Amino acid sequence: MKIVTADQFNRNRNKETIDQAIDEAVFNIIQDVRKNKDRSLKKYTKQFDQVNITDFIVSDKEIEEAKKYVGEKFLKAIKRAIKNITAFHEEQREKSWFITKDDGIMLGQQIQPIEKVGIYIPGGKAAYPSTVVMNVIPAKIAGVPNISLVTPPQKDGTINPYVLVTAQLTGVNRIYKVGGAQAIAALAYGTETIEPVDKIVGPGNDYVARAKKFVYGDVAIDMIAGPSEICVIADETAPPKYVAADLLSQAEHDEAAEAICITINESLAKKIQTEVLRQKENLERKAIIDRSLEQNGQIIVVNNLNEAFEIANDIAPEHLQLMIKDAALYVSRIKHAGAIFLGNYSPEPLGDYLAGPNHTLPTSGTARFASPLGVYDFIKRSSIIHYSKESLMREADFIMTIAKKEQLSAHSASIAKRKEDI
């Protein structure tokens, strides 16, 4: 993990690279699934997961077996997470509203849930029951009546038991044993077994991400999730071992993950670097961490906190930790970040699993314009407009004037016909 100055900081961040071979492969998979449906899903599940699937639907018996496997300790932990995450997202509820005026005008906005949502849960390098919670809970609070979950099968043809139990606990309606770009195609267009949905959410590999891009427009999607990122701003009050541990917690996600620390103290930078080297030796995913830190690990030494905030806003990180004195006083200085963690005892894994806010966050600098996943991602807003005859006539000439200037004579005529009758 390199120590650099602000001038040396490499801003060539992990932007998605368009791989023509992946695009071509994903496009062909989508077209195949649209045409051949379940037969294609079986073919690709055999090809990519080395599993012969006869029934994509997870049975009640499989769920009961998974419950026996996971144990009480996990159940207690995941139920605590569900409780906290539910409480946080309840605050995001939106309500319909209406304004009635004395002159016969009524305007408003009606909130309705999306009818059918599909959730993708990865099953490659690790299993993610926490991602099930983060995607299902806001959808349930929004009132989505039909939630389907797709996830790749394990080598024995079953679903990871922790994912399966969590899906059942959170109220998923249907669980399917299928992954990859083929799962996205199935959710978008439907097969004999899998019902099509209106929106697809959840992270995945490059093939899943490209598939979501291809089907967007036919269905809605949440975002295109890139490699995980963390940026820590640390001063002399931050224990080096804590900073190092938090940087490593993101580096272990993926070889392309990005771990950055910004500090105004060169001595602290060296201590953090030493801690990173020491701690990573005892971690199970050391090979992934080494590659991540080699490519994207940097400790940036700056002159002052103003410069630190400027760089952090330029990065617009997925996760930003302020491990500085009186951190809460500086929140307003952060303009672009998916989630902001304050102090030495609010590490990023707290947000990943238990605190309550969603861990599905904008990556690759998209925090400049995007937000964490929330209840608002699972609703639709319809405008409501009612004018009385008298109210319309008061506005008629204004409407007709604008319509004529836009050369839309039928628009003008729509108003004129009513004006003639009155």
Longest dimension (CA), the chain: 85
Catalytic annotation present for 411: no
Indicate which residue of 62, 258, 318, 348 is catalytic.
318
CA 337 vs CA 52, 195, 319: distances in Å: 43, 36, 7
Contact indicator for 296, 305 with CB cutoff of 8 Å: no
**In angstroms, rounded to a whole number, what is the distance separating the alpha carbons of residues 358 and 100?**
36
DSSP per-residue letters across 108-140 = EEEEEE-SEEEEE---SSS--HHHHHHHHHHHH
Q: Which of 335, 292, 357 is nearest to 1 (CA)?
A: 292
Give the DSSP H or E segment for 106: strand 105-113
Check if the beta carbon of residue 49 is closer than 8 Å to that of residue 152: yes
Rounded CA-CA distance 173/238 in Å is: 45
Q: Is 65 a catalytic residue?
A: no
**CA 336/CA 330 separation, integer angstroms:** 13
Q: In what order do the strands lie in the sheet with 199-201?
A: 174-177, 146-151, 116-120, 199-201, 220-221
- Cα distances from 410 to residues 390, 416, 418, 421, in angstroms, run 21, 9, 13, 17
Chain center to CA of 72: 29
Enumerate the β-bridge partners of residue 98: 108
C-alpha–C-alpha distance, residues 264 and 246, integer Å: 18
Of the listed 89, 253, 319, 336, which one is catalytic?
Answer: 319
Q: CB neighbours of 193 closer than 8 A, spacing ≥ 6?
A: 38, 41, 55, 56, 57, 176
Q: What angle do the packed helices 20-36 and 38-49 form, to 10 degrees?
A: 140
User: Going by C-beta distance under 8 Å and a sequence separation of 6 or more, which residues neighbour residue 157?
Assistant: 51, 52, 53, 177
Q: Within a 13 Å sphere around the CA of 230, how many CA atoms are in the beta-carbon half?
A: 30
- The number of helix segments (H) and strand segments (E) in the chain equals 14, 14
Helices 180-189, 206-215: inter-axial angle, 10-degree rounding: 20
- Residues annotated as part of the active site: 318-319
